[in-house]
């Protein structure tokens, strides 16, 4: 069974078509658009997979004539909302990165903005829920002190309740902060690995020894 024969819904097929990197993208998009599309479902799926901004730009640039105006307008509004949010997130990220680097604490931004730039060359082409910053375990205490001294808030709230053992494991690998109560969570990590797994990669292996 080929990629094009998999039992995806028309909405999923269209999303996959917009994400193609080769010259077949427009042809694949127009083929899928010969079927009825549930635009609300497409919007939901694109948001769920954090690709709604990219789906909108590809539709608007390539096949705007095949998308109902009201559906395209809704996608455009969501794209603009994400763009404004990314600007705020970028400011928060730069504030934290500059603060730490000014005090000789090297950092590596992960996922989120960094992934959007690497994968798409455009920070607003991907949606994400928080910011992730990797530091060396040896810099952990200093980094946390610097953030708190700068008025950056420690965030102990967990959006999804976790069993005590998993929460303890998670707290041994990172700590959450916010530049203000209204901004997005910043995860300061000194180990790489999911809280679902007992093993983790120490951040110190990524940075040069001091």
Integer Cα distance of 46 and 83 in angstroms? 16
Q: What is the pLDDT of residue 167?
A: 47
CATH of domain 85-206: 3.30.460.40
Q: What is the pLDDT of residue 201?
A: 57
Sketch the domain layout of the chain as residue ranges.
3-67, 85-206
Q: What is the pLDDT of residue 191?
A: 78
Widest CA span in the chain: 60
Helix (H) / strand (E) containing 100: helix 69-102
Is the CA virtual torsion 44, 48, 49, 55 positive or negative? positive
Q: What is the pLDDT of residue 175?
A: 84
SS (H, E, C) the chain: CCHHHCCCCHHHHHHHHHCCCCCCHHHHHHHHCCCCCCHHHHHHHHHHCCCHHHHHHHHHHHCHHHCCHHHHHHHHHHHHHHHHHHHHHHHHHHHHHHHHHHCCCCCEEECHHHHHHHHHCCHHHCCCCCEEEECCHHHHHHHHHHHHHCCCEECCCCCCCCCHHHHHHHHCCEEEEECCCCCCCEEEECEECCCCCCCCEEHHHHCCCC
Indicate the pTM of the whole model. 0.76
Burial-class residue 59 by CB neighbours within 10 Å (0-12, 13-18, 19+): buried
pLDDT along the chain (210 residues), means of 10: 68 94 92 96 94 94 95 96 90 92 92 82 83 89 93 73 52 78 82 58 64
């Amino acid at each position: 069974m080929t990629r094009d024969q998999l039992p995806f819904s028309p909405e999923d097929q269209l999303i996959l078509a917009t994400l193609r990197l080769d010259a077949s993208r427009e042809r694949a998009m127009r083929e899928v658009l010969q079927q009825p599309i549930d635009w609300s479902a497409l919007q939901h799926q694109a948001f769920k997979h954090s690709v709604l901004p990219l789906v909108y730009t590809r539709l608007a640039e390539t096949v705007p004539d095949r998308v109902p105006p009201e559906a395209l307008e809704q996608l455009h509004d969501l794209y603009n909302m994400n763009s404004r949010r990314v600007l705020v997130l970028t400011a928060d990220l730069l504030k934290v990165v500059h603060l730490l680097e000014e005090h000789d604490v090297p950092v590596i931004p992960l996922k989120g903005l960094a992934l959007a730039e690497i994968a798409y060359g455009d920070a607003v082409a991907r949606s994400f829920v928080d910011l992730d910053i990797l530091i060396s375990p040896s810099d952990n205490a200093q980094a946390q002190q610097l953030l708190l001294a700068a008025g950056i808030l420690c965030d102990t709230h967990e959006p999804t309740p976790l069993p005590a053992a998993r929460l303890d494991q998670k707290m041994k690998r990172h700590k959450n902060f916010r530049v203000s109560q209204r901004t997005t969570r910043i995860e300061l990590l000194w180990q790489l690995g999911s809280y679902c797994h007992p093993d983790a990669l120490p951040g110190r292996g990524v940075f040069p020894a001091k």
